[in-house]
Amino acid sequence: MNRQLKREEEGLCAQRGLLKDSDVQSFEIFVSREVRDMYDRALRGAGRIAAARASRAQRDRRRRGFQSSPEDLLVRQRETNDFLTSFINGSLERMTLKVRRKQYWERLINLPPETNPLSKESIFLEDPGGSFRALLFAGREFDLVVLHALTYGLVDLVYTNTFTAVFVTYIVDQALRITRHQLALRNIARKTLLDPRFLL
């Protein structure tokens, strides 16, 4: 393992990005309607889930287990992985994939690429800056500090009591953390096809 890391450090390994001369592995993705529909069908496991449910019903009579059948999840996960692998490898007919770097205006004002709603071409824009962090608390520290300062100032102005202002600010912070945690667990369980009880 150390030898492989040393080879990568010295630049002797193949690039990891989707473009030949790129190591960028995060993208902003703009997919066509047809790709989105196929992805949704693969995620739902259309066609094969009925057979898995029938076999689950017979087994459930004999033993108790999880409420959601692992067979359903495995079928859905396999179909989704197969579809995404085929799509990114370019082995799906009628669905073209274009990978490119962002143009100047797309970088400057975060402008989406021009796409035709009837087009069957999907676009992957390289995202070396990691724009996905805008969805997380990471990188939102300044916004949270401003929220806490405004909450504290408003409550202190209304009640003229420092202890009450600090306590309400603490409650708002805890409510934000709990809400983000619960929504993140639900989102991860839905997107990764895992049972939420496996997530700590």
Residue 93 CA to residue 137 CA, distance in Å, equals 39
| Region of residue 97 (phi > 0: left; psi between -120 and 50: alpha; otherwise: beta) | beta
pLDDT in tens, 126-146: 887 766 666 666 667 888 899
Question: Which pLDDT score is estimated for 94?
Answer: 74
Would you kindly state where each structural domain of the chain is located, as residue ranges? Answer: 136-200
Residue 97 has phi, psi (to 5 degrees) of -125, 125
Question: Which pLDDT score is estimated for 47?
Answer: 43
Average pLDDT over residues 49-60: 51
